[in-house]
Amino acid sequence: MLYLVETILYVSIMIALIIVYKIKKFNWAKIGMLVASIIFVLAIAITFVVEKPIVQTKDNISYEVGVNEKLDQVIVKYHFMDVSDKVKTEGEVNFNKVGNYKVKYIVPTILGNYTKEQTVEIVDTTAPIITLTGNETEEISYNQEYKEAGYTVTDNSNEDLQETVTVTKEEVSNTEYKLIYTVEDSSHNIGYAERTVKLIDKVAPTIKLKGGSTVYIKLNEKYTEQGATATDEIDGDLTDKIQTSGKADTSKSGSYTITYTVKDNSENEAKKTRTVVVYDGSKPSVNTNAGSEKGVIYLTFDDGPSSSITPKILDILKAKGVKATFFILNYSSTNEKLVKREFDEGHTIGIHGYSHEYKAIYQSVDTYMQNITKLQEKIKKTTGYTSIYTRFPGGSSNTVSRNYCKGIMTVLTKEVVARGFKYFDWNVSSGDAGGAKTSQDVYNNVTKGLKHNRANMVLMHDFSGNTKTLNALSDIIDYGLKNGYTFSSINSSTPMITHGVNN
């Protein structure tokens, strides 16, 4: 660049000397003007040559991570002209990763390329976003724990933050709490979400009859209504709200049903029935006719308890206010608490047997009776309750027992009754231990088997892994309630529903 300036200077001096020579006569005024003009022209020429481009950028250039895909175009002025389109940029910037990146802006000039270096900062100032699955306000029964519906986390820095979310519970009142979801990214931006959980009463009251569930009145004797009591876990004593319907006509022999109905303040309804048998002559024996409890559904579960399925079935029954019967097998010390829970929550505990092994239990009448009395004693130690309700493994109609003792079922069906037991088979099968492959199959098998003109004894199982029945249970109960059925556990007035004996 200096050579170019010197050349311009020498050329200017030569021109000046030539002009002076031509003038031949010194005229200092003219010479001064000439020199000034030459210097002015020289200054302009030098300024034009050495002028630098003006790169209009900020001192600090920053972009939000994940937002831009390329750098904004810089504005460059050179010799009063916009040459922005001639600028080349060197250096890579990862717009999806926080950090500082060096870039160079290269501008072509008369003297060669002019370079300006700039630091570009990629920053993250945006908080992660937590999107809740399900509703922001959920309603659950007061006796249930909220089951997390889930959530997803997105962040503009593409960090995987799903496993770093923390959930804290904040009590608002006795019937409401909030779940606060918090997550922090590597730039210390914090995202929040909030879900409100409201506790509502979905549990029906409990009705207890005063006196027996079956009352025998001799023809033309007076029937005195003993009444019932009702309690609710939320609303307390609801006895004065019980509505009683039905009437026993003691002037006519027959079976009459007295129905006790009560609703709590949340409109959950409970029903209980009492059978009044008006008889002429001798007192009738236990009624084995299923038609005496028309429209009643007895949900029964065999082969439990299991730690994976039984607690969840009990949760559903409690939420729906439905009582059931569990024909159990021998249980471990771990599962003893499930037997206690079944009893404490008002379900009937029946005896399926200490063992379910056909070869062992159907060897003789004695081995079978030992099988059920051994479990009967264990249940009593666990609950204080002596169960007299039993179900034969395979049902009373089983033929497998022929392999071990011919004719044993013919004897056993009479023997268990003679020893004070009542045995129950079924007239509705869920198929959950056989042909049913899905929960829809279980639902279809049960709902199609129900009939209003009889008592419905439904066979299901709560053995480990039986999710088919677990997933169908709520819908089965809802179907029954919507279609005019009532639910009951097996009790002293329940008719013995039995199969025909085949051995």
CATH number at 129-200:
2.60.40.10
Q: What is the share, in percent, of the chain residues with pLDDT greater than 70? A: 86
Neighbours of 470 (CB within 10 A): 21
Spatial neighbors of 196 by CB under 8 A, at least 6 apart, are 136, 137, 138, 172, 176, 177, 178, 179
Of 61-70, 250-259, 406-415, 451-460, the range with the lowest mean pLDDT is 250-259
Cβ atoms of 449 and 258 within 8 Å: the answer is no
Residue-level pLDDT at 352: 97
Phi-psi region of 66 (alpha: psi -120 to 50; beta: other; left: phi over 0): left
Q: Which two tokens stand for residue 174?
A: 């006795």
Q: How much is the average pLDDT of 452-463? A: 95
Spatial neighbors of 84 by CB under 8 A, at least 6 apart, are 73, 74, 75, 76
Q: Which two tokens stand for residue 189?
A: 């931006």
Q: How far is CA 128 from CA 38, 137, 151, in A?
A: 68, 22, 13
The predicted model scores a pTM of 0.46
Q: Which of 232, 107, 258, 329 is nearest to 339 (CA)?
A: 329
Domain residue spans in the chain? 2-50, 54-123, 129-200, 206-279, 291-487
Residue-level pLDDT at 2: 42
Query: Where residue 47 falls among pLDDT bands split at 50, 70, 90?
Result: low
Q: Which CATH number fits domain 206-279: 2.40.30.170, 3.30.56.10, 3.40.50.300, 2.60.40.10?
A: 2.60.40.10
Q: How much is the average pLDDT of 345-356? A: 95
- pLDDT for residue 12 is more than 70: no
- pLDDT for residue 332 is more than 60: yes
Q: What is the share, in percent, of the chain residues with pLDDT greater than 90? A: 50
Residue-level pLDDT at 350: 96
State pLDDT tens for residues 486-501. 999 998 888 889 999 9
State pLDDT tens for residues 170-183. 999 988 999 999 99
Residue-level pLDDT at 142: 82
Q: Does domain 54-123 sit in CATH 2.60.40.10?
A: yes
- pLDDT for residue 249 is more than 70: yes
- pLDDT for residue 405 is more than 60: yes
Name the more confident of 382 and 252: 382
Is it true that 129-200 and 291-487 share their CATH fold?
no
- pLDDT for residue 40 is more than 90: no
Q: How much is the average pLDDT of 96-107? A: 88
Residue-level pLDDT at 331: 96
Query: Where residue 196 falls among pLDDT bands split at 50, 70, 90?
Result: very high
Of 191-200, 267-276, 308-317, the range with the lowest mean pLDDT is 267-276
The phi, psi pair for 240, rounded to 5°, reads -70, -5
- pLDDT for residue 328 is more than 70: yes
Q: Which CATH number fits domain 291-487: 3.40.50.720, 3.40.50.300, 3.20.20.370, 2.40.50.140?
A: 3.20.20.370
Question: What is the average pLDDT value for the chain, to the nearest integer?
Answer: 86
Residue-level pLDDT at 43: 64
